[in-house]
Amino acid sequence: MSTFVVSARKYRPSRFVDVVGQEHVTQTLKNALINDHLAHAFLFCGPRGVGKTTCARILAKVLNCQNLSADSEPCNTCSSCQSFNDNASFNIMELDAASNNSVEHIRALIEQVRFQPQQGKYKVFIIDEVHMLSQQAFNAFLKTLEEPPSYAIFILATTEKHKIIPTILSRCQIFDFKRIQVPRMVEHLNAICKEEGIQAEKDALHIIGQKADGALRDALSIFDRIVSFSGKTIKYQDVITNLNVLDYDYYFKVIGAFMMEDVSKILLIFDDVLSKGFDPDIFTNGLSEHVRNLLVCKDSETLQLLEVSDNLKDRYESQAQLAPMSLLLNLLNLLNECDVNYRMARNKRLHVEMALIKMTYLNRAIKMTEDGSTHVQAKQKKKTDPVVKKEAVQTPNPTVEIPSDDLSDDTEANSHLGQQENKEDPPPSESDPKPKKLVGAMKRFDVNALMAEVKQDTVKAENQKIEITNEALREQWDAYVDENLPDSMKGYLKKAELILKDSEILALVGSDLAKSTLQQESGLMERLRTFFNQPKLALKVQLDKSKAPKIEKPKRLISSKEKLRQMNEKNPLIKEIWERFDLRFDED
């Protein structure tokens, strides 16, 4: 028979000092034992795998230890500690409330409370997953929990404190356990590797700690799995292969491609990720985490929030210096938008690829926006500048002379324009009575013509609205109904009468359900506003029973006797035959 014991059991802490990441709990319990301020009921709550049951067992062992140390740690050598380690102690009872949650199980526990401990001072009752108890079981437990005997100590443990009734919470001393940080997990796993003679790369242990999501028990389970896979040498590549985790290199390459605006490289990287069996949302979520880490590296004060190895920290810092803050913030915004709409997208791959293409040209869009805002600020400064040249006031068409070398770019020319107009010409000297002129080839630039052209473009953009016709409105309406709404609603909404009044659409529908469906369907108006380029287009829905689709009633089946009677009434010859032969219908 195999003697293998999983690491979560083999390296389970037996003293308070061995508990990882819960010093605020262990120190409080030790101080309570030293000062003899121990409560009769405790509630340990927090996420799974962080040491709640372990701390409960250590406290139970400490309470009956015969050779307690000065810092309130168990000796692990006395008869009480030995019996506890061998699971043979009669003073400690454990109850799993997940499978023992009825009133009968609580009554059996209360019966055990009546008997004093045969050896030691206290009788300790540990109830795990206490939130699984039924309402009746909680009520049966209340009186005993409030006024137990002096030798009884209750320790309750749960992962869902909000499910416990307030009357139980008010009778317990509550300790909140926190998630264990990745560096503490890596330190603990490194100690186990030294104990077991295992060589492990630090990056590999970091991946295990991140995958555990704050639960040390999960980290130890993953560690055992990796050891079974790779043996006595744990490498980073083995860990990401076994845990199905994307390599950091993908994200560093993607950010580099974003800054270089290399669309083809980004799409090839994304295709490589999909070919390895990763879902698109895993890639986008990992990329969001990567961008967040780059933002953290922008400030030395927040660098401590980066939970990666030292080698990766250097790579993050170097890439964070190259990537501008505006690019990272906008990338994070687009990734969040992509993640929110991912579930609703029918073609998941195309949805993510479109988002990646937008991100590729994000840097260029930011530069264009910054240049445009600079140009607007220059024009505003020109309007509000109190210094006005006399020549500009007297001349109906003011012009500014600019060197031809500076007119290679429109933005640069405009910025020169703003700078030149705000400067006054130097006064002529005695030796040179004429004003100084710019040297080189000159060009004359008409300011009023430029302003008129900009104004004309603005008006043209505002007037690019598509006229709403009944045919186009009905076509877009029916297309949206066919694509997005269930069959039960299509008849009502296609039958709806659409009346256009200015920038408002009045829809007359034939049922309350159709009315509420339209009021909740925001995508319909978004489609119409986008198609007609009218963002102020509104929808008003009214109920009109006449617009309900007509449902043909099924024809009633008639009996043979009714058929004969109808034939007799319609055909006079048949009626004459009935009268000659004196025929009658049988009365029911």
pLDDT in tens, the chain (588 residues): 467 888 888 888 888 888 888 889 989 998 898 888 888 899 999 988 888 889 999 998 888 888 888 888 888 888 888 888 888 788 888 888 888 888 888 888 888 888 888 777 888 999 998 999 888 888 888 888 888 888 899 999 999 889 888 888 988 999 999 988 888 888 899 999 988 888 888 888 888 888 888 888 889 999 988 888 888 888 888 888 888 788 888 888 988 888 888 889 989 999 998 988 888 888 999 899 999 988 888 887 787 788 777 778 888 888 888 888 888 888 889 999 898 888 888 898 999 999 999 888 887 776 666 666 555 555 555 555 554 444 443 444 444 343 444 434 444 444 444 444 444 444 544 444 444 443 333 344 454 555 565 556 555 545 555 677 888 888 888 888 888 777 777 777 877 888 888 778 888 887 777 777 777 777 788 888 888 887 778 888 888 777 666 555 555 677 777 777 788 778 888 878 878 887 776 654
314 is a domain residue: yes
The domain total for the chain is: 6
How many Å apart are CA 263 and CA 495, to the nearest integer?
A: 46
Query: Where is the domain boundary, 176, 198, 232?
Result: 176
- The whole domain housing 337 covers 248-365
Domain presence at residue 496: yes
What pLDDT, on a 0 to 100 scale, did the predictor assign at position 156? 92
Find the CATH number of the domain harbouring 225: 1.10.8.60
Q: Is 569 contained in some domain?
A: yes
Domain shared by 102 and 237, yes or no: no
392 located within any domain: no
Flag whether 375 is in a domain. no
Q: What's 31's domain CATH number?
A: 3.40.50.300
**Quick one: the chain helix, strand, coil %, rounded to 5?**
60, 10, 30
Same domain, 513 and 410: no
324 and 255 part of one domain: yes
At 395 the pLDDT is 40
Same domain, 115 and 22: yes
pLDDT at position 288 = 92
Domain annotation covers residue 580: yes
**378 in any annotated domain:** no
For residues 137 and 68, membership in a common domain is answered with yes
Q: Does residue 261 sit in the same domain as residue 219? A: no
DSSP 465-493: -----HHHHHHHHHHHHHHHS-HHHHHHH
The 3-state secondary structure of 51-84, one letter per residue: CHHHHHHHHHHHHCCCCCCCCCCCCCCCHHHHHH
What CATH number is given to the structural domain containing 483? 3.30.300.180
pLDDT at 403: 42
pTM of the model: 0.57
CB-based contacts of 50, cutoff 8 Å, min separation 6? 21, 22, 177, 178, 179, 180, 214, 215, 216, 217
Residue of 396, 446, 440, 441 whose CA lies nearest to 417: 446
Same domain, 193 and 225: yes
379 occurs within a structural domain = no
